[in-house]
Structure 1
Amino acid sequence: MSGSTNLLLDSLPQRLSGIPERWAQQTPEAIALCQDGVAFTFQQLAQASIQAAQWLRDSGVRPGDRLMVVAENCIAQIVLIFAAARIDAWIVNVNARLSAAEVDAIGDHSQPRRIIYTVSVSAEARAHAERGGALAHQLTGVGEIAVGALNETCSVEPVCASGSEQVAALIYTTGTTGLPKGVMLTHRNLLFIAASSSQVRGLVPGDRAYGVLPITHVFGLASVALGTLYAGATLYLAARYSPAALLQAIRDDKLTIIQGVPAMYARLLEYDKGRQDLAQTSLRFIYAGGSPLDSTLKLETERLFGRTLHNGYGMTESSPTISQTRLDAPRSDTSVGSVIPGVEARIVDSQGADLPQDEPGELWVRGPNVMKGYYRDEALTARTIDAQGWLNTGDLVRQDSDGALFLIGRSKELIIRSGFNVYPIEVEAALNAHPAVAQSAVVGRPGHGGNEEVVAFVELDPTQPAPNEQSLHDWLVSRLSPYKRPSQIVVMQAMPAAATGKILKGQLKELAQRLLKEELHPEP
């Protein structure tokens, strides 16, 4: 590890709660959080988290307990994150928009000591609270929350002697089948990414960042919320995304930083239709991550904002950032940038042997961002992180001579058709270039003789004339080799998506299978 990385790690506080404490001492009256006209200074944030930590202790939450917070982005959620950190409890942030079954599955696996609901900003959180019999409580200096009963059977997890190695957050990854996977991220994991994200973006205390990505997701938690506050900048919280609200925040709050997923920018383009002049604003940095970015969306977004749309890549298990494009080296392609300082990377074949430059392969990474492991699943942890600390991302990439990474797709999503590799991201890029396609997702399904079929799902732009399936097939003829072209293109009203906007391909694979079964065995 380089000397600069060691210096960065040495400069980090022991726990997440060190972030508001630091700025409460240096710039106590600076605004840390804003939401719906309410401004919270760093001094208020530090004080509220200290009071909340004491209340958690008094209400029976112990070091090593899990504290589950069913929420949408709000000040109370941020306060509880820092409060849990102060007492060495693990925060389990759960998006209130999940179904009752999904919330219960996370609760059953994490076995929290208490469940708290941010009822003042989320009708869904209130519904979950009512279902769980939670009682109203006024969180000092913050407002109303609801608190579930104490789980007397909850067992505490071991507490590390070093706060930095203690688990800070248990984050559940989006799953479509089976039990949810809980990713254990330590204070050092999250603080390293918060600090790195601040440095790569060039954040300074005067910056104003938009916090609409769900804090229940690692992108919204580490890169956006913690990264912004780590720099002493102001985070403008929004519980839900709407293009109109974003445009208003750009104008009224004079935002300087926007981080979002590609679907967020696609919806903005759909809504705006060239009405706004966003080149004449305070924005200096716009960024996309969380899912693949296609070249058409990047170009159209850059035209709208008059600025480079930066790109990056990561995963929950790496806290999340692995690579990012740099401010001083903007790119016109869809590279996800170079690996961030302090993180090592290897590109390997199916046997784990290193591949030469420009040869596509599976990405392995190692560094201070790599998770502690999967909660209550040592076997899966051992299959994912080897004895030398290398995390197998499961993603296929290639790396050019400049060190820039290009995302090809998930190794599990690779489609093998007639002996050829089909990378869904390439087919999706060709479909997304169609003027009437808002977004697309490509999956494979078993075909005849062990071969795989390519199936594409598309969501159309309602402001454009709707193409039929054949015209979409025709569009691809000059853009893709025959073996890459979908055997079926399915038009959908809306893609199944997580709260972050990430398309749930597992559900689409199941749908593709059902469609084939219906085609082979139509009902009489």
Structure 2
Amino acid sequence: MTSMLDGCTPWPEGFVDRYWAAGHWRGTTLDSLLRGWALQHGPRTALVSGGTRITYAALNRRVDRMAAGFRLLALRPGQRVVVQLPNVPEFVVTVFALMRAGVVPVLCPVSHRTPEVAHLVQLAQAVGYVGPSAYGGFDHTAMAADIAARGPFLRRVFTLEAPGTSSPYGGYTTDPAGCHYFPLGSVDAPPAPALPLSAGQVAFFLVSAATDGAPPLLVPRTHNDYAYQAGACAEVVSLTEDDVYLAALPADSGFALGSPGVIGTLSVGGTVVLAETSDPAACLAAVARERVTVTSVVPAVARRWLEVLEAHEAHEAARADLSSVRLVQIGGDTPHPATAERLASAVGCRIQQVFGPAEGPLALTRPADPEETVLTAQVRPLSPDDEIRIVDADGRDVPDGEPGELIARGPYTVRGYYRAPEQNARSFTGDGYFRTGALVHRTAGGDLVVTGRRTGREAPEAASTL
């Protein structure tokens, strides 16, 4: 198996053999999986964004041509590119195209600004940046130019320009620092022969917040581990090609990307509806228009949606038709049971609680679980090969029913952050368990109940966010 990037912590050989033998890892890269999905579901709608609809066949063609365009512009396998795009089709196309070119995307929240993005460029030694020309009143192109001027890595900036706007660096220009600027839409070339890529390599980096205001961390996710995670989640949720998933949360998060999210939905031939904002009016209208069946929210978004839904309850004509929704996932933090119960009643659907940091592991209630289980945040690990322990402050296992910190390792839980040895020493045990920072206890039935978070500098902040 091809080794991971320098600076990543690989799974030990014995664990690799176990995950292959169990069929969790299958040796297919995510971009190669997209080729198969396009062959199987070609004319079906893969992505919806406003009035734009893209079929599986068209998505794969766009990815092919953009990947060839990136290669033509001298992006090389193993190099890193920061991708900072909102929930638009170009996000999906760009991420898959970079992976197809062998380049590693760094999935950066669009809300991050110069300090965080500059740190990620430096940490990843990113040679490229993909972002909007401007978004939400912020000039991303100027930010990229400022970071490029600091050197020495960033030398190619690809900007997605809104209709009717133009960037001062648009159209194949070069700034005084020697950084080249290209409209993202111009990255296009005839498809090139496929590269011999390894599924054991890093597919992309997720961004995880550190503690005490420290710079963000990079979480390396391989093709093998992420394909397994998204596919296993899709199976738990019983996704089919008839499902329509609303990505109401940022697609650069692990929750909306692969739990099962965008990738899990595409893996079964379903349709992904991309929402640029979690605003209740826009999202509920999209649910009604596209007949959405599954979506994911965090408790704060759930509460905002509830305010709108309950305000309209007395005005039937003002309510969106939400009858298509069968499941709403709630993750990122433990909601109050009353919030989950009210949301289920207002939408008329089942609720699924999800715990899962960018690093792994994932624990979920099952759609068929009794209502009292779902409402009290009792969750079970995604994989039969998830190794779960609940430990006290000294690292000793606690009895069932007693609270402790959840630590875990498994086929999709990383073994370390990228180029962060000091943080790895705090966040991972010597035998490879990730310290999630979540305080839980195990019920007599084997379910996990999340009750809070460990405090202190060693507690990884990412465990509270998907």
TM-score normalized with structure 1 length = 0.70
Q: Which residue of 2 aligns with 1:187?
A: 223
Query: 1:126/1:339 Cα in 2 relative to 1: closer, same or farther (>3 Å)?
Result: same
Shift of 1:280: 6.0
2:178 and 2:403 map into 1 onto residues whose CA distance is 51
Give the secondary-structure state (helix, strand or coil) at the position aligned to 1:206: coil
1:17 and 1:335 map into 2 onto residues whose CA distance is 35
Give the secondary-structure state (helix, strand or coil) at the position aligned to 1:370: coil
Q: Is the 8 A contact 2:226 2:412 kept in 1?
A: yes
Shift of 1:97: 2.3
1:162 and 1:336 map into 2 onto residues whose CA distance is 39
Q: Which residue of 1 aligns with 2:67?
A: 53
1:268 aligns with 2:305: yes
Give the secondary-structure state (helix, strand or coil) at the position aligned to 2:400: coil
Query: 1:84/1:355 Cα in 2 relative to 1: closer, same or farther (>3 Å)?
Result: same
Give the secondary-structure state (helix, strand or coil) at the position aligned to 1:374: coil
Give the secondary-structure state (helix, strand or coil) at the position aligned to 2:246: strand
2:231 and 2:79 map into 1 onto residues whose CA distance is 26
Q: Is the 8 A contact 1:118 1:125 kept in 2?
A: no
1:68 aligns with 2:82: yes
Q: Which residue of 2 aligns with 1:238?
A: 275
Shift of 1:352: 1.8
Structure (1 or 2) with the larger CA radius of gyration: 1
1:413 and 1:202 map into 2 onto residues whose CA distance is 39
Q: Which residue of 2 aligns with 1:281?
A: 323
Structure 2: segments with no counterpart, 5+ residues = 1-14, 146-155, 180-195, 314-318
Q: Is the 8 A contact 1:13 1:19 kept in 2?
A: no
Aligned length: 405
Q: Is the 8 A contact 1:76 1:118 kept in 2?
A: no
AA aligned to 1:208 is V
Q: Is the 8 A contact 1:279 1:304 kept in 2?
A: no
Q: Is the 8 A contact 1:118 1:126 kept in 2?
A: no
Give the secondary-structure state (helix, strand or coil) at the position aligned to 2:78: coil
2:305 and 2:87 map into 1 onto residues whose CA distance is 20
- After superposition, residues 480-499 of structure 1 pair within 5 angstroms as none
Q: Which residue of 2 aligns with 1:348?
A: 391
Give the secondary-structure state (helix, strand or coil) at the position aligned to 2:366: coil
Q: Which residue of 1 aligns with 2:186?
A: none
Shift of 1:6: 4.7
Q: Which residue of 2 aligns with 1:100?
A: 114
Query: 1:136/1:358 Cα in 2 relative to 1: closer, same or farther (>3 Å)?
Result: closer
Query: 1:137/1:298 Cα in 2 relative to 1: closer, same or farther (>3 Å)?
Result: closer
1:144 and 1:29 map into 2 onto residues whose CA distance is 33
Give the secondary-structure state (helix, strand or coil) at the position aligned to 1:190: helix
- After superposition, residues 355-434 of structure 1 pair within 5 angstroms as 355-412=398-455
Shift of 1:387: 4.0
Shift of 1:144: 9.7
Shift of 1:236: 0.1
Decide which of 289, 292, 296 is 1:259's aligned counterpart: 296
1:171 aligns with 2:206: yes
2:382 and 2:239 map into 1 onto residues whose CA distance is 16
AA aligned to 1:395 is A
Q: In percent, how many aligned pairs have the same letter? A: 26
Q: Which residue of 2 aligns with 1:129?
A: 141
Q: Which residue of 2 aligns with 1:247?
A: 284
Query: 1:366/1:132 Cα in 2 relative to 1: closer, same or farther (>3 Å)?
Result: closer
1:149 and 1:114 map into 2 onto residues whose CA distance is 14
Decide which of 13, 17, 24 is 1:9's aligned counterpart: 24
Shift of 1:246: 1.6
Q: Is the 8 A contact 1:335 1:406 kept in 2?
A: yes
Query: 1:97/1:138 Cα in 2 relative to 1: closer, same or farther (>3 Å)?
Result: closer
Query: 1:330/1:67 Cα in 2 relative to 1: closer, same or farther (>3 Å)?
Result: farther
Give the secondary-structure state (helix, strand or coil) at the position aligned to 2:30: coil
Decide which of 98, 113, 132 is 1:84's aligned counterpart: 98
Q: Which residue of 1 aligns with 2:182?
A: none
Give the secondary-structure state (helix, strand or coil) at the position aligned to 1:123: coil
Shift of 1:385: 2.7
Q: Which residue of 2 aligns with 1:322?
A: 362
1:24 aligns with 2:38: yes
Cα deviation code 1:227-274 (max 9, x no counterpart): 111222110001111101121112111101011111111001122225
Q: Is the 8 A contact 1:66 1:89 kept in 2?
A: yes
Q: Is the 8 A contact 1:194 1:222 kept in 2?
A: yes
Shift of 1:48: 1.0
TM-score normalized with structure 2 length = 0.79
AA aligned to 1:376 is R
Structure 1: segments with no counterpart, 5+ residues = 154-160, 415-497, 504-524
Cα deviation code 1:453-481 (max 9, x no counterpart): xxxxxxxxxxxxxxxxxxxxxxxxxxxxx
1:193 and 1:280 map into 2 onto residues whose CA distance is 28
1:210 aligns with 2:251: no
Q: Which residue of 2 aligns with 1:451?
A: none
Query: 1:148/1:218 Cα in 2 relative to 1: closer, same or farther (>3 Å)?
Result: farther
Cα deviation code 1:317-359 (max 9, x no counterpart): 11xx521001121432322411112312111122222221111
AA aligned to 1:294 is H
Q: Is the 8 A contact 1:169 1:184 kept in 2?
A: yes
AA aligned to 2:365 is T
Q: Which residue of 2 aligns with 1:428?
A: none
1:192 and 1:41 map into 2 onto residues whose CA distance is 24
Q: Which residue of 1 aligns with 2:5?
A: none
Shift of 1:372: 4.4
Q: Is the 8 A contact 1:70 1:96 kept in 2?
A: yes
Query: 1:298/1:148 Cα in 2 relative to 1: closer, same or farther (>3 Å)?
Result: farther
Shift of 1:78: 0.5
Greater relative CO (CA pairs within 8 A, separation 6+): 2
**Runs of 4+ deviating beyond 3 Å:** 1-8, 133-139, 143-153, 276-280
